[in-house]
Structure 1
Amino acid sequence: MKSSIFFSVACFSVEANVRCGDIRFGDPGQFGPVSLTSYPGSGNTWVRYLIEEFTGYYTGSVYHDGKLFKGGFKGEIEDWSEGRVVITKSHTYRPKENALADAIMLIRNPYDCFLSEFNRVISGADHTGKAETKDFMSERWVKNEFEKYAGRWYRLYANLINSGYDTLPIIYEDMKADPQKEMEKVVNFLDVRTDYESKYECLFGENSQRFKRSSGRDVDPYLFVNEEHLKPVNEAINNLSALLKKTHG
């Protein structure tokens, strides 16, 4: 049985052209090399949107995704090393070659990460795509390499926590439940504050529904997977929970 820790399922649009306030680039060298690091499928795009609205500055990325750039994330193709973006998206951490030091770690239940990433792959790299039941009954899903993915999920965050740099863990499910509270932690960590309180109605009122898309399903896709294949995922969740409790309380 899969663990319910961190569990939820939700998807958010990449469309960010409609804004609640002005977003701009910083001056060269204004911001340090801070990453928004997450495992693929963790809701990084939605959290980037919130960071941009709360700080008033564009976020960057190490990937230069043209689709996200066209969707309104103007910092996507910026050279993040110039220090003009407030934070930089990354899905990896390699200590020997890491130029991004401090990190906000966006952590989501790996079961939902794997599901979200599978949706993206099946739908042709669409950040809001959705697979169908027949896709989850195929060998492509049933025989997915869950053990390998779980190991990568755990090591990404464990390596950051043990890196010696300042890290802030943000649990995706907490962000979804109370984004205002979690974003307070983010802006304090980044030490960049604006009049974001004036944007609350736009960000979280009825108007905010344009950024959300329902992903409810009649059938849990993991019911098609042998439980033995899911044990490493539960172990990864338990191990990271223990590490977070030890290092961040």
Structure 2
Amino acid sequence: MSRRWIFLLAAIVATVHFSIIIVMLSPLYGAKNSYYGGSYANRLSLRQPNVNWCKELRFRIPPSNSVVALVSYPGSGNTWLRYLLQQVTGIMTGSIYMDYGLRVHGFPAENVTNGSVLVVKTHEGPPSDHKFQAAILLIRNPRDAILADFNRIHKGHIGTAPKSAFKRKTREHKSDWATYVSIELRSWESTHKHWLNNFPGPIHIVFYETLVDRTRQTLQGILDFLNHTVTEEDMNCAMYNKEGIYRRRKKYRDFDPFTPNMYAALETVRNRVRDMVTDYQRTHNRTE
């Protein structure tokens, strides 16, 4: 093999190696998560924001015998709630997924699913192996959750999809966005239905909008459910740093991708899930 080809091969290997590193470090802003499929192009960003933790993160010692699921439909604020729980307790939260972007940006226990972590993130239905003994179910308005996850697919955890993404057409001449909303609305309902109707353990229900409006009280309710005590100083520090780097800030104020028909479907499904929540709280004597 000539020296020229050796140099060329070495350059290719170096480029591939560097690309892998960039993909692992940058998905907060621009790459697809490793736990979702997606067919949309994503742009990578080299920006790496820092996280100011109230205390050094650690595993739970000794590990708990009860593994608690942190359940949500994608785009419902799961990552932000994990961040808040880590801030106030100093204990790592886990996930059934391996998201390399989150792993290097404040969630070192990605893919840890045992009692050494405070809660375990999942977007799936209740597992048949009864892995979880309890669950926190985070529910967000389907309009906002579906839009947030659409943004994630295109621009990572905290980016915003370009307006052009909502106008792309499929081969059947239907709006790709409209098809996405229809499919994901069924998934949004199914996620909550399976947990509320089929999970045998206790469920603590948290509404994302309440978490935003009454963060301290809602977070305290979750800690009570987890039977975990924190100091006033811990809570004050978590509230001081509650914004973190995991909430999407840029939103279009002059653009609404939802049609009247979409809004009607969203409200119908949202009401059905509300009824499920009411039935669950009544039959289980819970008032989250």
Q: Partners in 2 of 1:49 and 1:209 — Cα distance?
A: 9
In structure 2, what is the equivalent of residue 86 of structure 1? 118
1:130 matched to 2:135? The reply is no
> Could you tell me how far 1:152 is from its partner in structure 2?
1.5
Matched-pair contact (CA < 8 Å) for 1:120–1:127: yes
1:101-120 → structure 2 map (5 Å cutoff): 101-120=133-152
Identify unmatched segments of 5+ residues in structure 2. Answer: 1-27, 30-47, 170-174, 282-286
> Could you tell me how far 1:116 is from its partner in structure 2?
0.8
1:34 matched to 2:91? The reply is no
Residue type at the aligned position of 1:180: R
Q: Partners in 2 of 1:109 and 1:42 — Cα distance?
A: 8
Which shifted more, 33-42 or 95-104? 95-104
Matched-pair contact (CA < 8 Å) for 1:23–1:57: yes
1:204 aligned counterpart, secondary structure: helix
1:170 matched to 2:170? The reply is no
> Could you tell me how far 1:88 is from its partner in structure 2?
0.2
Residue type at the aligned position of 1:111: R
Q: Residues 95, 26 of structure 1: CA spacing in aligned structure 2 closer, same or farther, 3 A cutoff? A: closer
Q: Residues 15, 153 of structure 1: CA spacing in aligned structure 2 closer, same or farther, 3 A cutoff? A: farther
Q: Partners in 1 of 2:65 and 2:263 — Cα distance?
A: 41
Q: Which has the higher contact order (CA 8 A, sep 6+)?
A: 1
1:56 matched to 2:90? The reply is yes
2:204 aligned counterpart, secondary structure: strand
Cα displacement string for residues 52-108 of structure 1 (whole angstroms, at most 9, x for unaligned residues): 122221100000211111001111143x22x21011000011453452231100111
1:130 aligned counterpart, secondary structure: coil
Q: Partners in 2 of 1:42 and 1:33 — Cα distance?
A: 21
TM-score (norm 1): 0.82
Cα displacement string for residues 192-236 of structure 1 (whole angstroms, at most 9, x for unaligned residues): 1122x214454334x55553552331234334x4x3344332221
Q: Residues 143, 150 of structure 1: CA spacing in aligned structure 2 closer, same or farther, 3 A cutoff? A: closer
Residue type at the aligned position of 1:117: D
2:252 to 202, 206, 217: 217
In structure 1, what is the equivalent of residue 193 of structure 2? 158
Q: Partners in 2 of 1:229 and 1:194 — Cα distance?
A: 43
In structure 2, what is the equivalent of residue 236 of structure 1? 269
1:180 matched to 2:180? The reply is no
Work out which of the two has the higher radius of gyration on C-alpha atoms and give 1 or 2: 2
Q: Partners in 2 of 1:220 and 1:46 — Cα distance?
A: 25
Q: Partners in 2 of 1:192 and 1:15 — Cα distance?
A: 29
Residue type at the aligned position of 1:113: A
Q: Residues 121, 179 of structure 1: CA spacing in aligned structure 2 closer, same or farther, 3 A cutoff? A: same
Which shifted more, 156-165 or 234-243? 156-165
Matched-pair contact (CA < 8 Å) for 1:54–1:187: no
2:179 aligned counterpart, secondary structure: coil
Cα displacement string for residues 149-191 of structure 1 (whole angstroms, at most 9, x for unaligned residues): 1221112112211223100110001001111000011001111
Identify unmatched segments of 5+ residues in structure 1. Answer: 1-11
Q: Residues 178, 16 of structure 1: CA spacing in aligned structure 2 closer, same or farther, 3 A cutoff? A: farther
State how many pairs are aligned: 230
Matched-pair contact (CA < 8 Å) for 1:119–1:129: yes
Q: Residues 237, 28 of structure 1: CA spacing in aligned structure 2 closer, same or farther, 3 A cutoff? A: same
Q: Partners in 2 of 1:213 and 1:150 — Cα distance?
A: 21
> Could you tell me how far 1:133 is from its partner in structure 2?
1.9
Q: Partners in 1 of 2:179 and 2:49 — Cα distance?
A: 30
> Could you tell me how far 1:144 is from its partner in structure 2?
2.6
1:47 matched to 2:47? The reply is no
Matched-pair contact (CA < 8 Å) for 1:27–1:84: yes
RMSD (CA atoms): 2.4
Q: Partners in 1 of 2:217 and 2:55 — Cα distance?
A: 20
1:35 aligned counterpart, secondary structure: strand
What is the percent sequence identity of the aligned residues?
Answer: 27
> Could you tell me how far 1:22 is from its partner in structure 2?
2.8
